[in-house]
Structures are given as C-alpha cells and as structure tokens.
Copies of this chain bind each other. A is one copy, B any other.
Amino acid sequence: MKVGFIGLGAMGQGMAKNLLAAGHELSIYNRTKEKAEALGAAGARVAETPAEAARGAEAVFSMLAEDSAVEKVVFAENGLLAGLARGAVHISSSTISVALSERLVAAHAAAGQGYVAAPVFGRPEAAAAKQLWVVAAGPRAEVDRVRPLLEAIGRGLRVVGEEPTAANVVKLAGNFVIASSIEAFGEAYAFARKQGVSPPDLQAVLMELFGGSAVLARYVELIASEAYEPAGFKVELGLKDMRLVLAAADASTTPMPLASLLRDNYLAATAQGRGDLDWSALGLFAAERAGLRGRR
C-alpha cells in the first residue's frame, strides 16, 4: 500500500521502519527533517509538508507528542487534511485528548476522508522490535482497509468499536492503570525500606505477584533499582497523560480520585524542575516523602 507517515520521533521511527519492512511504499514527514534521513536512505520518500506526505496515499499515520502538534500537522495550510485524498484514511496513533479525537472525526468526515484512532502501547524499543500492542477504533470498513498496516507495526491488535474515540479512551485508561501501579509500587517500596526490608526482598515477591505482566515487571525493577534516569517515558509525559485522563473524565462527569492523586504528584515534580525523570520516579517521590534519600 501507499502509506504516509508523519512524526518520526522515537516511536515513529520504529513504526515507519516496520511498515517499510512489510513492503509498503512510504512517504514520510517530520518537522526537523534530519530525523527523516535514515528512513529516506532506506527507501522512504521524504516529503516537505504533511500535505505532500499524504498526497496519493491510501492511509497516513500520525504519531506525535501531543495535541498541539497533531493540530498543527492536520489543520495547517499544508496539512494532512489538505493533502489527504477523499476516501483515504488518517490513522492517528498519538496519545491525544478525546476532545481532539472528536474534532478529527468531524473534520475528516466533512472532507470525505476516513479516520481511525489507533494508539499503541509500548516503548520505543517495542516499536523498533514490532512488539507494540495496537488498540484501534473506527468504522469497520475503514479499520478493515488499514488492518494490514496496523498488524505490520505490532504484535497484536484489538479493535474496540466503531467510534474512533473509544480507542483513545482505552489508551488513556491503560496508561492511567500503569501510572497507578507505579505509585503503588513506589509507596510499597518506601513502606518496606522504612521498616528495614531490602528492596530486593520486596521485589522478589512483587515479581511473583505482578511480574507476569511485562509492563509491570519493568516498573517493579526500575523502582527497586532507583533507575529514574535516563527516562524511557518522562514525568512530563506522565503529567500530560494524567491531564488527558482527567479532562476526559471531567467532560463525562467521572470522578477519579486516584487519577487526581497521580496528576498532583506529577505536577509537583514538574514544578520542582524534575519533569525529565522517568515517570516511574513516583517511586522516588514516595521515598522522599518518607524521608528516605535515594541513591541520587
């Protein structure tokens, strides 16, 4: 298939590479063009604008850091909306607000274009290794059309309905549960340490209980080893996601006290200049609240 890909950050690189590897014809765009070079050398066509990346494509992925970047890429003069053909599909893989996803539904519908929300679970290493887990939603026909693409970027795909926003909701819910687990692990380690129990002893038991989940195993280990730098996923991105969760919760009149607690912790860390730590640093903050000093 002829495919466009917009956004070649750490995640996008791996995803685009796997699309190429699966034999698709790729037209790519990134704001800072240098990041497109490696893929260009590997056979992708490097476009000058999002519109150009979209032109002639049957489907175009966008994989960007936040709402404002997606808004710019889609709605700008030479944006995706302008370049995408009628009947072609925008696959939005960014973790964005439910509100923006609703706006994209309307805009693409008005332009006679398709729109599938397909956010992904996994870190950059997983993207590179085709180990992402994809959650998609959109009109059945559109999802079916782009299914080979969604299967080319990960190890699994789950379709959660015909309303695209459902995929955004599920993605946010998943990230919320992960952050909650991090907070729980963090408080648990602080609790144990203050009572003279060594992190490895608690870690062994937490691994037994929760380590069967690869995503949780990672955080059980990260917090035990206090490896908060360099960040795989930053505190400020955790803050962004909790903001998106709470915004969608608020819009649907859903109180989420645990999400509020997480947001406030990430907000404090950001206010204190620690937004660059890994989001598992909730474990560090729990330790510090208890008067423990970390390794750092």
Contacts and interface: CB of A to CB of B under 8 A. Distances in A.
Interface in A167-209: 169-170, 172-174, 176-178, 180-181, 183-185, 187-188, 190-192, 194-198, 201-202, 204-206, 208-209
Interface in A131-180: 133, 135, 156, 158, 160-161, 163, 165-166, 169-170, 172-174, 176-178, 180
B178 A181 contact: no
Nearest to A270: B253
Given A258-B184, A264-B255, A197 B170 contact: yes
Contact of A264 (B213, B248, B260): B260
Contact of A166 (B121, B194, B196, B273): B196
Q: How many copies does the complex hold?
A: 4
Contacts of A98: 195
A195 B288 CA distance: 27
A271 B290 contact: yes
Nearest to A217: B212
A218 to B, nearest CB: 12
Interface in A201-238: 201-202, 204-206, 208-216
Contacts of A100: none
A279 to B, nearest CB: 15
A257 B188 CA distance: 11
Contacts of A195: 98, 165-166, 169, 248, 252
A254 to B, nearest CB: 4
Contact of A291 (B121, B198, B253): B253
A178 B264 CA distance: 21
A184 B262 CA distance: 11
A75 to B, nearest CB: 20
Contacts of A177: 181, 184-185, 188, 206, 209-210
Given A121-B205, A169-B191, 9 more contacts: A160-B197, A160-B204, A173-B188, A177-B184, A191-B252, A209-B215, A258-B261, A260-B264, A268-B289
21 contacts: A158-B204, A166-B201, A169-B191, A173-B188, A173-B202, A173-B206, A177-B185, A181-B181, A183-B258, A184-B184, A190-B256, A194-B253, A194-B254, A212-B213, A253-B267, A253-B270, A254-B271, A260-B261, A268-B291, A271-B289, A273-B291
4 tightest A-B CB contacts, nearest first: A271-B291, A180-B184, A212-B212, A260-B260
